[in-house]
Amino acid sequence: MCKYSDIENIELQNGKTVREVNEEVRHEIEHIYAESWLKGFSVPFFGDDGSIYLANPDGSEDKVTLDRNTRTYNIIMRTAQPGCGRFAHIKL
């Protein structure tokens, strides 16, 4: 298995490097989160452990379960306080 540093400067068919494409994707994801937060929505994401979390507009995170029948989230616990979550760096 190769390291990211081994491939980040490879130029793709579209003329961009792997690093440039990753930066564009990161920027777009952050834009999606910011737009959702401005509308008052928390954004679900999967943690490294496979659990579902909600990234909240105040920069906090909640570990949740998803009830697929009612399409609702049930909060299990707060995992990051306001301003301390994984996506807290995103500015609205």
What's the pTM value of the predicted model, to 2 decimals?
0.77
pLDDT tens digits, one per residue of 6-23:
999 999 999 999 999 999
Distance between start and end Cα atoms, the chain:
38
pLDDT tens digits, one per residue of 28-77:
999 999 999 999 999 999 999 999 999 999 999 999 999 999 999 999 99
- The CB density around residue 20, as the number of other CB atoms within 10 Å, is 15
pLDDT confidence band for 2 (50 / 70 / 90): confident
Q: Is 62 helix (H, G, I), strand (E, B) or coil?
A: strand
Query: Residue 91 has what pLDDT?
Result: 82
- How many Å apart are CA 40 and CA 54, to the nearest integer? 12
Query: Is pLDDT of 92 > 80?
Result: no
